[in-house]
Amino acid sequence: MTRPARARINLPALQHNFNRVNQSAPASRVMAIIKANAYGHGLTRIAQALPRADAFGVACVSEAITLREAGFDRRIVLLEGPFAADELRLISGYHLDVVLHHREQLAMLEGVNLRRPLDVWLKLDTGMHRLGFEPSAVPEILARLDHIDYLGERRLMSHLACADAPEDDYTTNQVELFRNTVESLAGECSLANSAAVLAWPAAHFDWVRPGILLYGASPLLDTTAAALDLQPVMTLETALIAVNTHQKGARVGYGGDWVCPETMPVGIAAIGYGDGYPRHAPAGMPLLVNGKRAPLIGRVSMDMICVDLRGHPEAAIGDSVTLWGEGLPVDEVAASAGTIAYELLCRINSRVQFDYFE
Ligand SMILES: *Cc1c(COP(=O)(O)O)cnc(C)c1O
């Protein structure tokens, strides 16, 4: 038996989730966000399965080049723009769009002369206070851009801080500030992340930028993915490689943190933090053994985890263990690990075997 840790990637589920974007924001074009290896799902395979995405959003040039070299000629947007001036030739050569969020980046643009038109997305800070220009600086920035003769199309964007909380005034205010700022300006606009695609129609504008919802996790607090008609794309599974009976009082795993309250069967499953599974997963975190819930016990090791099999007297070596996905929402697992689905998904690494189903 080869090591059984694998991620089953359900591409029809991805397409179903993409259709949810079209249903929710029918008038908007879609920039599918596939940074961080498509949230851990595999950059090029996910891009290939999204033929109706109008553009792709990535975080860095190397992600964009991977797509170009795989043959994608669609619009690709570098969501944080250039990190240094010496990236600009590569960016132009690969025909990538850049976000501009800082005067430092404007200076980089002013310091080179590119042969091809460069399309830019001017990023405004409407309240996230992470990246972007003050809306009041827009006239000054546009004037500087006007002097760059290789400049191509110019778009405007911003990012929402609290769109996961429905009816939060903070989002209403961000939408309003963005709308007021862009109203009198030419060029397409973009504001909505996944949460806003589903919950904030006023934020849709010309382009929406869904990420997490494409992968089937819920972008909204207090609403499950199933209630939003989203389907899980990644099912992370492995198998039991040992089943042992331990006596009452036996200590399980590194540090001996977990103590058997009675004589009981303990399963060992082949996955661990070396695969990107969260090391801080607490005892009691849910798993499925043969499709039925069982709690994690003991500390997560690099290659293995321990499972309380008291509810599974029939469990045997080779039986399937599901960490999340079909039958166990990644959002629920994330909540019990004190994190969010985004982090669990994008940490899964290539030591896990990825199998794609069409
Ligand atoms: C990551 C990202 C998104 C997607 O966010 P989700 O919450 O995953 O939908 C959208 N816009 C920008 C600028 C991002 O960096």
Q: pLDDT digits over 160-185, tens only?
A: 999 999 889 999 999 999 999 999 99
- In 3D, which of 317, 310, 277, 313 has the Cα closest to residue 294? 310
For residue 284, report the distance from its CA to the centre of ligand 1, in Å: 31
Ligand 1 atom nearest 193 alpha carbon? 9
Tell me the average pLDDT across 57-85.
98
**Is residue 175 located within the same domain as residue 240?**
no
**Is residue 160 located within the same domain as residue 307?**
no
- DSSP single-letter state for residue 282: P
Q: What is the CATH number of the domain that holds 130?
A: 3.20.20.10
Q: How far is it, in rounded angstroms, from Cα 81 to Cα 287?
A: 40
pLDDT at 191: 98
Residue 357 pLDDT greater than 90, yes or no: yes
pLDDT at 297: 98
**Is residue 212 located within the same domain as residue 287?**
no
Residue 309 pLDDT greater than 90, yes or no: yes
Whether residue 132 has its Cβ less than 6 Å from ligand 1: no
- The H or E element containing residue 66 is helix 61-69
Q: Could you tell me the two tokens for 118?
A: 């460069």
Amino acid letter at 249?
G
Residue 1 pLDDT greater than 70, yes or no: no
**Is residue 28 located within the same domain as residue 115?**
yes
N residues, the chain: 358
Q: Phi-psi bin for 228: left (phi > 0), alpha (psi -120 to 50), beta?
A: alpha
Q: The domain containing residue 340 runs over which residues?
A: 234-357
Residue 56 pLDDT greater than 80, yes or no: yes
Closest Cα to atom 6, ligand 1: which residue?
211
**Is residue 272 located within the same domain as residue 209?**
no
Whether residue 81 has its Cβ less than 6 Å from ligand 1: no
Confidence of residue 227 (pLDDT cuts 50, 70, 90): very high
**Is residue 69 located within the same domain as residue 117?**
yes
**Is residue 125 located within the same domain as residue 198?**
yes
Residue 111 pLDDT greater than 70, yes or no: yes
With respect to residue 4, please indicate whether it lies within any of the assigned structural domains: no
The question of whether 35 is a catalytic residue gets the answer yes
pLDDT at 253: 96
Q: How far is it, in rounded angstroms, from Cα 273 to Cα 207?
A: 37
For residue 194, report the distance from its CA to the centre of ligand 1, in Å: 7
The distance between the two most distant Cα atoms of the chain, rounded to a whole number of Å, is: 77
Residue 330 pLDDT greater than 70, yes or no: yes
**Is residue 17 located within the same domain as residue 52?**
yes
Tally the domains of the chain.
2
Tell me the average pLDDT across 341-346.
98
Residue 5 pLDDT greater than 70, yes or no: yes
By most ligand atoms within 8 Å of CB, the mutation choice from 63, 76, 79, 101 for ligand 1 is: 79
Tell me the average pLDDT across 325-339.
97
**185-207 pLDDT tens trace:** 999 999 999 999 999 999 999 99
Whether residue 15 has its Cβ less than 6 Å from ligand 1: no
Task: Select which of 35, 39, 273, 342 is catalytic.
Answer: 35
With respect to residue 6, please indicate whether it lies within any of the assigned structural domains: no
Q: What is the mean pLDDT of the chain?
A: 97
Residue 116 pLDDT greater than 80, yes or no: yes
Tell me if the pTM is above 0.95: yes
The question of whether 254 is a catalytic residue gets the answer yes
**DSSP string over 203-225:** G--SEE---GGGGT---STT--T
**Is residue 189 located within the same domain as residue 240?**
no
Q: What is the CATH number of the domain that holds 295?
A: 2.40.37.10
- DSSP single-letter state for residue 238: E
Under a CB-based contact definition with an 8 Å cutoff, are residues 202 and 192 in contact?
no
pLDDT at 166: 84
Tell me the average pLDDT across 219-226.
96
Ligand 1 atom nearest 209 alpha carbon? 10
Whether residue 193 has its Cβ less than 6 Å from ligand 1: yes
pLDDT at 189: 98
**Is residue 73 located within the same domain as residue 203?**
yes
For residue 140, report the distance from its CA to the centre of ligand 1, in Å: 27
Amino acid letter at 308?
D
Confidence of residue 102 (pLDDT cuts 50, 70, 90): very high
Confidence of residue 22 (pLDDT cuts 50, 70, 90): very high
**Is residue 329 located within the same domain as residue 278?**
yes
